[in-house]
Amino acid sequence: MDKVRKTFDKWAENGRAELMEEEHGKNVSKFLQTLSFDKPFTFLDVGCGNGWVVRKIASKKNCKKIIGIDKSKKMIIQAKKKTVNNKEKFIHTDIESWSYKGKFDLIFSMESIYYADSIEKALKKIYKILKPGGMFFCGTDFYTDNKATARWANIMKIQMHLHSKKEWKDLFQNAGFNVKTKHIKDLKSKKKWKREFGTLFILGKKPEK
């Protein structure tokens, strides 16, 4: 079993899944409020953890189908236990090896793509399963511009690909996306990095055909 999967299985058991929801929830909620959900849509959450984003989005009336995937089997077990809406579906898999025939309007990922063996491969797969005109929203607190979080890989001792904001944009562009970025800060946080740097969201749009 790889170290990333093992780590997140452990987190599912010791309450860290709920801590992640608490730690990231405020900035993710702020970000989601900037999006429009006024048309029917399908949604995928890559690295869904205990499914907190899936549950949040499933409650929107225009959500037609929503899937959460995670490489931690124990996170998926937790997510299934917390399911509140029959639109929700959770699958134990990673994005690179998942064989999915359909396409999504919106794909979301918070703090998970940088654990992939290959970010390039993960982005290529995400691009493939997005509809033309579809959007991929990738949130991360772990980027080189944010000095306080850049130490996380050494602390956690698992594979984490560290990139700058510019490198993230380049990765998305190389995968075919039109790219924008957005910073969401928590100005009331006691943590300096949350106030000054915050969460970097990379927004990738798949061009219309």
Structure tokens at 79: 């997510």
**Residue 149 in this model has a pLDDT that exceeds 90:** no
Spatial separation of the C-alpha atoms in residues 187 and 192, rounded to whole Å: 9
For the entire predicted model, the pTM comes to 0.91
* Burial class (CB within 10 angstroms; exposed 0-12, middle 13-18, buried 19+) of 22: exposed
**Residue 1 in this model has a pLDDT that exceeds 60:** no
Spatial separation of the C-alpha atoms in residues 1 and 21, rounded to whole Å: 25
CA distances, 92 to each of 46, 99, 122, 149 (Å):
11, 12, 16, 28
Give me the residue spans of the domains in the chain.
3-205
Nearest to 204 by CA among 141, 140, 135, 143: 135
Q: What is the pLDDT of residues 11-61, one digit of tens each?
A: 778 766 666 767 777 788 889 998 999 999 999 999 999 999 999 999 999
pLDDT of residue 73: 94
| Fold (topology level) of 3-205 | Rossmann fold (3.40.50)
CB 71 within 8 A of CB 50: no
Q: What amino acid is encoded at 128 in this protein? A: K
pLDDT of residue 201: 94
Average pLDDT of 104-123?
94
